[in-house]
A and B are shown apart, each in its own frame.
Chain A
Amino acid sequence: MRKRRYYRPPRLAAWLLNRILPDGGWQTPLGDFEEYYNDVAAYAGEGRARLWYWGQVLNVLPRKLCHSAFWGVIMFANYLKVAFRNLAKRKGYAVVNISGLAIGMACCILILLWVRDELSYDRGHERADHLYRVVQDIQFSDHQTTWAITHGPLAPALQEAFPEIINTARFTGSGRRFKYNEQSFQERGAYADQGLFEMFTFSFIKGDPTRRSWNRLLLSFPKRWRLNFSATRIPSER
């Protein structure tokens, strides 16, 4: 055989072709391709050969993808079939196995939801990283409980004792009856410190949370109140 120049097929196309073809048994056709590429390059120029090589690769690519997708689905269907046959064959075992897995997963999901809920407590406020809740452990004669309820003077006392405490807010909640003109409402409400709106992020329908003068009465209106007051001016302070 006479010696002639060796033309290397385009690297990327050759690599693609190598990836597309399954292992084993395809080395010979690849050799054929390379030799044919050299033939074309020698007689019709390297550009033409390149075009041919790329054409071959791009021609086979969509078919290869379809093929592997098709057989992937077929194989998956077969796995399913085998799985169901096995389940049907050993029913007791299947029930124990699947119910165990289901209970385990359900527990896991419930725990996850609970933990997420616990961790999200009061985290929706703007400065949530600065917020701490003070709780107390109450020792009874026979048991111990933890309450989020503490004594009123604790807040100023703590702030005095610990300079790293920037602000405090106290909060005591109970229902109140409100009267406005001739209308009266039983509403849930709460007494709170000035600090509450400095520390926590609440949206106000009316009024300015940064104002210092509203410590006489705060009204945080529920949505349904707006209907009642639609004709009148909403009092921000009294």
Chain B
Amino acid sequence: MRLLTRAEEFILLAVWRLQDDAYSIPIRKQISEITGRNWSLGAVYMPLERLVKKGYLDSYLSETTPERGGRHKRIYRLTREGKHALIEIREVEQAMWAGIPQFSLEIS
């Protein structure tokens, strides 16, 4: 598997979850809400671009809307490879966590 950074992983997940509304603003908002940190727009654009390059995402332009000054939205979609990558990451992560007993997770 090709390793993804954490940011890339979060963004892939956000794109998957947002479905037809998956463009930069909601992606940033969702990741910021979940991680509790304020992600800048640039921190979302860069991984998005990389993911498109790696073939995990593709994108299309939406219809123009007046509230964006008549500009398109670039809406992202997971490709099959993207979905596979996410599932793989999940499996690997679960496998890595598997040997660790529950009680040791409690912070002493």
Contact = CB atoms under 8 A, between A and B. Distances in A.
Q: How large is the interface on A (under 10, 10 to 19, 20 to 34, 35 or more residues)?
A: 10 to 19
Contacts of A1: 67
Contacts, number: 38
Contacts of B73: 28, 31-32
Contacts of A39: 25, 29
A1 B62 CA distance: 15
A30 interface: yes
B61 interface: yes
B25 A35 contact: yes
B41 A31 contact: no
Contacts of B72: 27-28, 31
B68 interface: yes
A54 interface: no
Interface in B20-63: 23-25, 28-29, 41, 45, 61
User: Which 10 A-B pairs rank lowest in CB-CB distance, beginning with the nearest?
Assistant: A31-B71, A31-B68, A28-B74, A32-B24, A34-B69, A27-B71, A35-B68, A35-B25, A34-B68, A28-B72
A38 B67 CA distance: 9
A29 B59 CA distance: 14
Interface string B67-93: 111011110000000000000000000
A30 B25 contact: no
B25 A32 contact: yes
12 contacts: A27-B71, A28-B61, A28-B72, A30-B71, A31-B69, A31-B71, A32-B68, A34-B69, A35-B67, A35-B68, A36-B28, A39-B25
B9 to A, nearest CB: 22
A39 B29 CA distance: 10
A27 B62 CA distance: 12
A32 B41 contact: yes
A27, A28, A31 pick with most chain B CB within 10 angstroms: A31
Contacts of B25: 32, 35-36, 39
A33 interface: yes
Contacts of B28: 36
A6 interface: yes
A38 B65 CA distance: 14
A39 B28 CA distance: 12
A32 B69 contact: no
Given A32-B24, A36-B41, 5 more contacts: A31-B72, A32-B41, A32-B68, A38-B67, A39-B29
